[in-house]
Copies of this chain bind each other. A is one copy, B any other.
């Protein structure tokens, strides 16, 4: 089977399996066409994953397919956008049918789970590199930006932090213990917080997804909002498996390791008090936004990541 037949066979089904409310022309023409509903804005983000840099060499293709869309969709969650569709540019050394079948299977699961149709793409030959652009929509003016944090707002994070980062130490375990399996699952199958992101529109004053580590990503909110914050290590949500596996080092994973794709939000105290239980129970309050610049952990300055990329937050 030729390259084009393979692509058609494995990728085209991804175009039809999801009904996007807004995609009116999918793959096959010079361009795709999306009709954004009146009163809504288009929200979009592009992410590249390079083999050996963003995922291990010879990484399982079905894990990669899921991960690629999950990582990209996480940026939509951070804006509070409703996911709609995506484009996929794949550069690969050769069209290996077994690899393509696995990759498409993982991508297809993610596409269904997140409700995102494939809108178009490009396939080229070269070293394995994936670029996905995700499209979401949001009621006009309601996207959650990084720049909205104000002194007095609470700092909150979803889920638990550090698991996916710890997983990197166990990627080659042949028969992982339950704790190891738990953190490996966080790495292989990140779940972008799309429903939560959408639910905190109008509640959160700023948001970012945690891809580079809490300190770095919270730092992006603080810089964009021109504020500081203090956070309390005792309040960081750390999973039992991570504590068991890493002991005292667990805190460091929670502060500095990325790949969890949880959300970090700032929320005005009054809105937090009145937030629905459904939202409150998905979040841990870990600190407070202050007018004093800088990020303080248990009272001590903690620069986080000072190398800061305005073009794009993620390396």
Residues of A that sit less than 8 Å from B by CB: 2-4, 7-8, 11-12, 24-25, 27-36, 38, 41-54, 75-76, 78-79, 81, 87-89, 91, 119-127, 129, 131, 133, 136, 138, 140, 143, 145-147, 207-209, 224, 307-315
Q: Which residues of B contact A124 (CB under 8 A)?
A: 48-50, 53-54, 129, 315
Say yes or no: A131-B48 contact (C-beta < 8 A), given A36-B36, A124-B54: yes
Nearest B residue to A81, CB-CB = B31
Contact of A131 among B8, B36, B131, B315 (CB under 8 A): B131
Per a CB cutoff under 8 Å, which of B7, B127, B131 touches A122?
Answer: B131
A34 lies within 8 A of B30 (CB): no
Q: Is the CB of B308 within 8 A of A125?
A: no
Give CA–CA (A193, B49) in the complex, Å.
32
Since A7-B311, A27-B310, A31-B143 are in contact, a sample of 9 more A-B pairs with Cβ atoms closer than 8 Å, ordered by chain A residue number, is A25-B145, A30-B76, A30-B207, A30-B209, A31-B75, A33-B138, A46-B88, A49-B124, A121-B312
Q: Check B125 against A28 for contact (C-beta < 8 Å).
A: no
Give 15 A-B contacts (CB < 8 Å), ordered by A residue: A8-B311, A29-B145, A29-B147, A31-B75, A33-B42, A33-B138, A44-B120, A46-B89, A46-B120, A46-B121, A48-B89, A50-B91, A50-B124, A122-B314, A123-B309
